[in-house]
Amino acid sequence: QSALTQPASVSGSPGQSITISCTGTSSDVGGYNYVSWYQHQPGKAPKLMIYDVSKRPSGVSNRFSGSKSGNTASLTISGLQAEDEADYYCSSYTSSSTHVFGTGTKVTVL
Amino acid sequence: QVQLVQSGAEVKKPGASVKVSCKASGYTFTSYGISWVRQAPGQGLEWMGWISAYDGNTNYAQKLQGRVTMTTDTSTSTAYMELRSLRSDDTAVYYCARTVYYMDVWGKGTTVTVSS
């Protein structure tokens, strides 16, 4: 199972919106509405930000939103803040009943 | 509150085995699965496998088949991950995570260092 493809880095100024893409195949992203997104800051455990493509867990800011079209999912962070600086990973359930992570995207707030 | 508490850091020699524990609290252990995820230095997150705490059913990443075993002890609400024939590229932080089709609660991680 190959990792899902994400851009290595995305940056934006405070207050701007950024979007991170996550490209897979019809056997994972395209085949199921089980895409999730995780924020990972150094020295901390990953944190669930979006699940089931577009649902937000309780306590996660509504500045974070998710969507999917075909084999590509996207995470949008609006009103970018310094505290959003982290690595972000997408993940998908697969046709093999496994999970696969994306390659990861480093978000930098300029 | 819902939490997963992992065992402490380990240092192992190449060829040895390591067993990491993950104790759950604050929820019904058998209602969820547990995934194990690792991150090697400078690398991304890698899904290693999943175990159902309800019936012990497992599903492992293909690259680890034959070297990894995941188990649970429902009497203590604890999940275990054993990795055998350790190599230097198994050096990583290992996380357990409560899993449905997503991983919503994570342990703080266990550092495993493989070095001669």
User: Which pLDDT value is given to residue A99?
Assistant: 97
- Give the Cα separation of A43 and B12 in Å (integer): 22
- Give the Cα separation of B36 and B49 in Å (integer): 6
C-beta atoms of A38 and B107 within 8 A: no
pLDDT tens-place string over residues A24-65: 999 999 999 999 999 999 899 999 999 999 999 999 999 999
Mean pLDDT of chain B: 97
- Give the Cα separation of B3 and B81 in Å (integer): 17
Amino acid type, B37: V
C-beta atoms of B44 and A104 within 8 A: yes
8 A C-beta contact, residue A85 and residue A78: no
Mean pLDDT of chain A: 97
Q: Which residue of B has its CA nearest to A106?
A: B44
Q: For chain A, give the percent of residues with pLDDT over 90.
A: 96
- Through-space distance between the first and last CA atoms of chain A, rounded to whole angstroms: 35
Inform me whether the C-beta atom of residue A105 falls under 8 Å from chain B C-beta atoms: no
DSSP state of A59: T
Query: Which chain B positions have a beta carbon within 8 Å of A93's beta carbon?
Result: 101
User: Which pLDDT value is given to residue B29?
Assistant: 97
C-beta atoms of A97 and B59 within 8 A: yes
Tell whether the model's pLDDT for residue A1 goes beyond 90. no
C-beta atoms of B44 and A47 within 8 A: no
User: Which pLDDT value is given to residue A37?
Assistant: 98
